[in-house]
Structure 1
């Protein structure tokens, strides 16, 4: 009985030792697991902090290390979010850099890529986009007002290429097309009217030029005729002088019905007597008044006696009936 009791006690003691050993191992395992979990959580929080202060690459590197050790959907989501935030920051910075280089269209593209999940940067990017649109719209409106349509089209098209969703610039494009069409129509009408005025003015100038030319030719013709007339007059006067000279010392008879014998070789001379047709006269001298009138100083013989005075040669050459 004593031996059986001792054996039972030893077996019970060994069993307790085994249980204690197992419990110790379990405690150690749990402690190691908890330590690992705590350590991993601390590492993840460190990565979260780095991402929060903008050190995206450092945070992503930690997430990658964690995923290499053990894949986790939560860590993967944090990694993807960090990448999006990093890209958002890069796009925002590139947008600011583009503005510094006066390239609004590149800035539009970069600011438009900033996602909404980065609330702070998205708000700033939205403000920049609005400012760019305000400046661009004002510039387009000014160009439309100045009727600089080609430049306005260039800006509108470039803007909509960079930001096709801009309703404001699209509306301005419609306004630009409508005003340009109206102005083009008005300019065409004005040009047609101006062309008509120019044509009328040209026609009037041509008429005036023709009238001037006609008058010039008329005056030239008159001048030529006058010159010819003068030449003819000179010749006729010379002929009259020759004829007059040849009449001196000749006896002629009056051929006109009557001839006034005057005291001077002019129609203003006093009439002494009237000689009738057929009266004999002796020409003492002549005086040529004009090509058509030569005065002859004559001695006239009548029944009453002889008289001396001046009579026109036309009364002796059948010029006067």
Structure 2
């Protein structure tokens, strides 16, 4: 059983294997998710490039996109063979490309098809098969669409749901606007848990801090959610994850600060550099780790500018870290 108290959302172009490895040095417990990978891409593409990951990332879930049960079943088998700890179906992405492919959020209109997809995935793998969805799309009544999707999937044995607590407005809003404009309805997610207490329900959307995550996990109203999924907050300010094991999982361990996280990440970066990975592929996920510290701007500038040089190596990281240490020392001296 995976502990779902905290997970990091699947985010296109962001949560690649290097991002996940960096997040893992900050938290040993949070469940990490891949970017969405479509089933056809897995069946016909470079599987090692699409699905390969480092063992340090565990526990890590593979998120699939698609609407063909047979394709999804085969993609899930391949993902499980790669060693993923969970297979998740995307029923929430609002992009035009996803709509044209008949998957993502538009599947909220077809709960029966979602259930068929999940039955196929569940039958193909022994790891958990889970759903990440919205409240509904466009003019749907979320009180109806959310429960219809969950109940249809529950009927085929699915027990774990991650709910992005917004509608997806496929007509008139861009994917970016869909992350902010539709209003949040946390109450409906809590009602779902109250009325379906046997289900594992995690909440996602607009959760910007560990304080907010702790509040969502509070059972003061008699509802005990199973987990919180952080998205952009975890990416733009990853240092907050260094407190997660203690605060959300109750682990008696010291928090991991930004400096220690970078030190822990160095062996991974060194190994990837030796394999020919370019430094910016890794440093781009670190840009926010010094958020709020003196020297954070210099840190970002050095990583952004110097890492793109053909011969760039770990000395770039050292210079960026030193810029922060020097800025903090100057601030201390002026007090």
**Superposition TM-score tier, normalisation by shorter sequence:** under 0.3
Q: Which of 1 and 2 has higher RCO (CA within 8 Å, sep 6+)?
A: 2
**Greater Cα radius of gyration, structure 1 or 2:** 1
